Amino acid sequence: MMMKSSSTLFRLFGIDIKLHISWWFIFILLGWSLSDSYFPQILPNLDKYTYWLMGISAALLLFISVLLHELSHSLVAKAKKIKVESITLFFFGGVAGISDEDMKPSVELQMALAGPLFSILLAGIFHLITIQNGNFIITAITSYLSQLNLTLGIFNLIPGFPLDGGRAFRAILYWHYKDLRKATYIASMGGKFLAGVLIFVGIFGMLSGAGNGLWFILLGGFLYFLAKMSYEQVVVKQILSRTPISKIMTKKFPVLSSQMKCIEFARKYSSAENNVFMVQGKTFHGIVDIHRLGAMPGSLQETTILEQISLHLNSIKTLTPQDTAYTAFKYFNEYDVGLLPVMDAGKIKGIVTRNSVMHRLTWGMKFGINVK
C-alpha cells in the first residue's frame, strides 16, 4: 500500500525513513502534554522554558526509540535477504515497508521479536542513565523514556495480530498448522480481543474520570481495524495468488479502431455492459474508458479520435499468461485502470477486467479458496 501523505526524511542502511503527516499531530500533542503537565508535576518550580525544552527532547528521543524499534525489525529482515523499502513513522508508532512475500515461520518469528526486545533493551539503557547521572532534569527525561520503551516492548509482545507479539504467535501457529490463513485467523482474533479489552478499559477510564480513557478507545479501535484488515489481506492474497490469469482472462473482446471518432464511440458503446475497450491502429495499442467522454462537449467529440483519448499500452503495466490474479489485483490498485491486456511475445492474448478480479474474489470468499 502506498502512503502518499508521507515524506522521506533520510536514508539509513538503504532504507527510506519516512514521516507520515499524522506523526506531527502526535508529536505536537505529546510535546505539549509533557511540557504542560507531565514534567511540571514531577519536577515543580522550574521555568516554562525548561519544561518546553524537556518536553521536546523527550518527544524527540521517543521518536528515535520508535525508529530504532522499527529498524531492528528491518535489519533482521535484511539479514534474512528480505527486501525492506521504507520505514514510515506515524500516529501510533511505525510500520516497516517489508515486502509481503511469504516467509518462513522461523524468519517471521525472529523478525517480530527483534523490535520489542530492542525496546526492552533501550528501556534498560535509559534506566542505567537514570540511576547513574546526577542531573535531575536528565533523570526526569530518561526515566520517562525508560518507562515508555518498557511499555512499548511489553505491549508489543501481547499476542494480538498484527502487533509484533501477534506476528510471533502467528508464526508459531503457521509452523504448527502449516496453514497461513488459519494461523492468521486465530492470531487476528487475539488482536480483536485485545482491541476489545482496550476499548473496555478506555470506556471504564472515561466513566471513572481518568484522563487517558480516550487514548485507550482510539488505540483499541485502531487495533481492531488493523486486525480485521490484515486478515482480509491474507485471504485476498491467498485466493488471488492461486488463481491463474487464464481463469479470469477474456479471449473475445471488442477491439476498436484507433481512428474511430469519439462521437461514434459514444453512440455505439455508451450503454454497453463494458466501460473499457482495447484500441488498436496501425502502430497504436491502447485502452480507452468510456468515462473519458464524460466531460467532452459534443462538438469536440466530432473531431477527436480514440487514439487521442486512449492510454497507450507502453504507459500501463501489462500481464503475462504466467501471472496470477493477484498480480492483476495489485496493478489495478496501483495504476487505477479498469482493464489490463495479457501479452505474450508482443501479442495481445486476452484482457482482464477489474470486475473479473473482484468477481473471482467474492466467489473465492463465498466458496473457499480450493475451488478452482
Q: Judged by CB under 5 A, which stretch of 74-82, 158-166, 219-227, 328-336 contacts Zn ion?
A: 158-166
Q: Which lies closer to Zn ion via its Cβ, residue 158 or residue 352? A: 158
> Dmax over Cα atoms in the chain, in whole Å?
84
> ∠81-86-89 over CA atoms, to 5°?
135
Q: How many CA atoms lie within 13 A of 30 on its CB side?
A: 21
Which helix (DSSP H) or strand (DSSP E) does residue 6 occupy?
strand 6-12
Neighbours of 166 (CB within 10 A): 28
Q: Which lies closer to Zn ion via its Cβ, residue 96 or residue 306? A: 96
Q: Which lies closer to Zn ion via its Cβ, residue 22 or residue 301? A: 22
Distance, C-alpha 301 to centroid of its chain:
41
SS3 assignment, position 89: strand
- In the complex, the smallest distance separating the C-beta of residue 223 from Zn ion, rounded to whole angstroms, is 13
Cβ neighbourhood burial of 10 (10 Å; 0-12, 13-18, 19+) = exposed
Cβ neighbourhood burial of 277 (10 Å; 0-12, 13-18, 19+) = buried
Q: Judged by CB under 5 A, which stretch of 112-120, 142-150, 214-222, 265-273 contacts Zn ion?
A: 112-120
- In the complex, the smallest distance separating the C-beta of residue 286 from Zn ion, rounded to whole angstroms, is 44
Q: Does 164 bind Zn ion (CB under 5 A)?
A: yes
**Cβ(138)–Cβ(126) below 8 Å:** no
Q: Does 307 bind Zn ion (CB under 5 A)?
A: no
CA distances 87 to 25, 29, 160, Å, are: 18, 22, 21
Q: Which lies closer to Zn ion via its Cβ, residue 115 or residue 364? A: 115
Q: Judged by CB under 5 A, which stretch of 74-82, 159-167, 187-195, 236-244 contacts Zn ion?
A: 159-167
- In the complex, the smallest distance separating the C-beta of residue 69 from Zn ion, rounded to whole angstroms, is 5
- In the complex, the smallest distance separating the C-beta of residue 38 from Zn ion, rounded to whole angstroms, is 24
Q: Which lies closer to Zn ion via its Cβ, residue 116 or residue 202? A: 116
Q: Which residue is nearest to Zn ion (CB)?
A: 115
Q: Which lies closer to Zn ion via its Cβ, residue 164 or residue 323? A: 164
- Number of residues lying near Zn ion (CB under 5 A): 2
Task: Report the alpha-carbon distance of residue 276 to residue 45 in Å, rounded.
Answer: 70
- In the complex, the smallest distance separating the C-beta of residue 156 from Zn ion, rounded to whole angstroms, is 5
Q: Judged by CB under 5 A, which stretch of 2-10, 157-165, 223-231, 270-278 contacts Zn ion?
A: 157-165
Q: Does 115 bind Zn ion (CB under 5 A)?
A: yes
**Cβ(92)–Cβ(163) below 8 Å:** no
Q: Does 323 bind Zn ion (CB under 5 A)?
A: no
Stated length of the chain: 372
Q: Which lies closer to Zn ion via its Cβ, residue 54 or residue 113? A: 113
Q: Judged by CB under 5 A, which stretch of 37-45, 164-172, 196-204, 327-335 contacts Zn ion?
A: 164-172
Q: Report the interface residues with Zn ion, using CB under 5 A.
A: 115, 164
